[in-house]
Amino acid sequence: MSKENPVRVVRLHAVVSGIVQGVNFRYYTRQQASSLDLTGWVANRWDGTVEVVAEGPRATLEQLLAWLQHGPPSARVSNVETNWETATGEFDLFRVTYF
């Protein structure tokens, strides 16, 4: 009898506030998410925040979330609003998206 333990994939939807635009936040977020083998996207929003949608194992997404709470060296993160959602599997990699 096989005891498989499939890793449950979930979705993290985060909106990062603070000094997060004009500091390469998207570039470094893509780099971080890709290094963790997560899929999804990151984009600047019109209100000065950065939005992140990422899918993968919860534990790995928690690592990305911990990174988002401080961001790259020149960023000043004041808040990360997070929602955990059901993964859709619609992404094949992690990319920078433009609205």
Q: Judge whether 8 counts as a catalytic residue.
A: no
Tokens 């009898």 label which residue?
A: 1
Question: Which of 5, 24, 26, 58 is flagged as catalytic?
Answer: 26
The dihedral over CA atoms of 99, 56, 85, 43, expressed in degrees to the nearest 10, equals -20
Closest CA to 52 of 37, 30, 24, 72: 30
Question: Which of 11, 44, 45, 83 is flagged as catalytic?
Answer: 44
Q: Judge whether 44 counts as a catalytic residue.
A: yes
Closest CA to 48 of 82, 16, 2, 86: 16
Active site residues: 26, 44
